[in-house]
Amino acid sequence: MTNVICFGQDRKIELEIIGGKTYKNLFIRSRQLSKDPIKFVGETVNGTNWTFTIPDSIVKKTCNFDFKGQGQTETESFIGFISVIQGDTLIGNYINFENNELLIQLKVKYDHTAHEVNNQYVAALKKTVTIQQWDADYFSIDPIQNHYLRENMIDPTFGFKGYADVFSKIKENPNSLYYITRLATLTSLYKSKNDLSKLYYLFSNEMQHSFFGQMIYKNISTFEIANVSLTNCETKKEERIVTNPNKYTLLIFSISWCGPCHKKIPMLKRIYKEMNTALDMVYITIDDEKTLPQWNKLMRKENISWRSLLLNNKELKEEWNINAVPDYILISPDWKAQKVILNDENDINSLYSMIHNN
């Protein structure tokens, strides 16, 4: 995680804590897609009134901000907010600026501290194991102080309740920063480009042309792509992503531990068998050096016939808008690229039609 100390730049967050809770250090983290969080150090004179200064260039690319505090020890605590809305006690962690908002002012009251534990049942071990544990300080807040926080409290699972629900919410709030950032992180949920396109065009013109709006647009439109070189996972040699420019090339983004990616392998083998005269296929794994041996083992076990390359370039990952796997980019012989969806028979037929018709 990157630590940043700021001196009087573009936007500010002011946090006032009441209720006797003080911190030696307080941080706010900018959470961006495909990147490690950036940590900003707060400034204070009394441990209860804090000011954070954040460059506008960071704000525009940030999905959300969250807080972490450090008391008299070196241990850092997560910070959460609680509020009663329409009779329900709701919890939220994330805030963000509206487009033209230069200052966020939050007044919170200390409520309690909890030790949180993330347990998960592991079938192979036939027992529940602790994956992660942490301390969290909770503060009561009137969420009307920040629109993004209020939306996060009311609808933390945006996108998971179904297409109709998302459609109606965006239609009612076409200028919502919360909805545009959430949709940009959840494009893989949608079964067709047509569905995603309809949601995109519900947003206001300002939201469509925002940083996150353009990320969504990349998923529904064609874009130019360079024939860059990546490292072959087996040979360790640099290779171009496209080796035969007379064919279409399908880039398949995956990772060794991704269960949904593994389930796609039979479908991908079928596509390779039926279309190899017109289509080259290339696995692009986002594994790191530590997990790369697991990836190579998977490739051998599944007897994969096409190449696999290692994507260890964060700038390329962002440029290609790879936020989740599995994901796919189809490159045509005229170097036009587009995201494609491969979930079912209709998607396969659509892929075949794009290649045959061109």
Q: What is the pLDDT of residues 179-234, one digit of tens each?
A: 999 999 888 777 677 888 899 999 999 999 999 998 898 888 888 899 999 999 99
Q: Which two tokens stand for residue 153?
A: 């409290």
Provide the Cα torsion 3, 214, 318, 13; round to 10°: 10
Higher pLDDT: 133 or 84? It is: 84
- Judged against a pLDDT cut of 80, whether residue 116 lies above it is answered with yes
User: Can you tell me the distance from the alpha carbon of 142 to that of 107, in angstroms, rounded to the nearest whole number?
Assistant: 8
* Mean pLDDT computed over 89-109: 93
Confidence of residue 125 (pLDDT cuts 50, 70, 90): low
Share of the chain above pLDDT 70, in %: 96
User: Can you tell me the distance from the alpha carbon of 184 to that of 219, in angstroms, rounded to the nearest whole number?
Assistant: 9
Q: What is the pLDDT of residue 132?
A: 80
- Judged against a pLDDT cut of 50, whether residue 7 lies above it is answered with no
Confidence of residue 148 (pLDDT cuts 50, 70, 90): very high
Torsion region of 19: left, alpha or beta (phi above 0 gives left; psi -120 to 50 gives alpha):
left
DSSP annotation string for 141-178: E-GGG-HHHHHHHH-TTTTSS-HHHHHHHHHH-TT-HH
Q: What is the pLDDT of residue 191?
A: 64
Average pLDDT, the chain: 89
Q: Which of 316, 346, 325 is nearest to 188 (CA)?
A: 325
Q: Which two tokens stand for residue 196?
A: 């995603």
Q: What is the pLDDT of residue 124?
A: 63
The residue to which tokens 């007379």 are assigned: 246
Give pTM, 2 decimals.
Answer: 0.68
Tell me the β-bridge partners of 92.
81
Q: Which of 187, 181, 169, 168 is nearest to 207 (CA)?
A: 181
Q: What is the pLDDT of residue 341?
A: 85
Q: What is the pLDDT of residue 8?
A: 39
- Domain 223-357 classification at class level: alpha beta
User: Can you tell me the distance from the alpha carbon of 328 to that of 338, in angstroms, rounded to the nearest whole number?
Assistant: 8
* Mean pLDDT computed over 137-155: 93
Tell me the β-bridge partners of 340.
none
DSSP annotation string for 173-208: -TT-HHHHHHHHH-GGG-S-HHHHHHHHTTS-HHHH
User: Can you tell me the distance from the alpha carbon of 356 to that of 53, in angstroms, rounded to the nearest whole number?
Assistant: 53
Q: Domain limits of the chain?
A: 2-154, 163-220, 223-357
Confidence of residue 111 (pLDDT cuts 50, 70, 90): very high
- Judged against a pLDDT cut of 60, whether residue 357 lies above it is answered with yes
The runs of H, that is alpha helices, within 21-123 are 56-59
Q: What is the pLDDT of residues 265-313, one digit of tens each?
A: 999 999 999 999 999 999 999 998 889 999 999 999 999 999 999 998 8
Q: Which of 94, 217, 68 is nearest to 155 (CA)?
A: 94
- Judged against a pLDDT cut of 90, whether residue 4 lies above it is answered with no
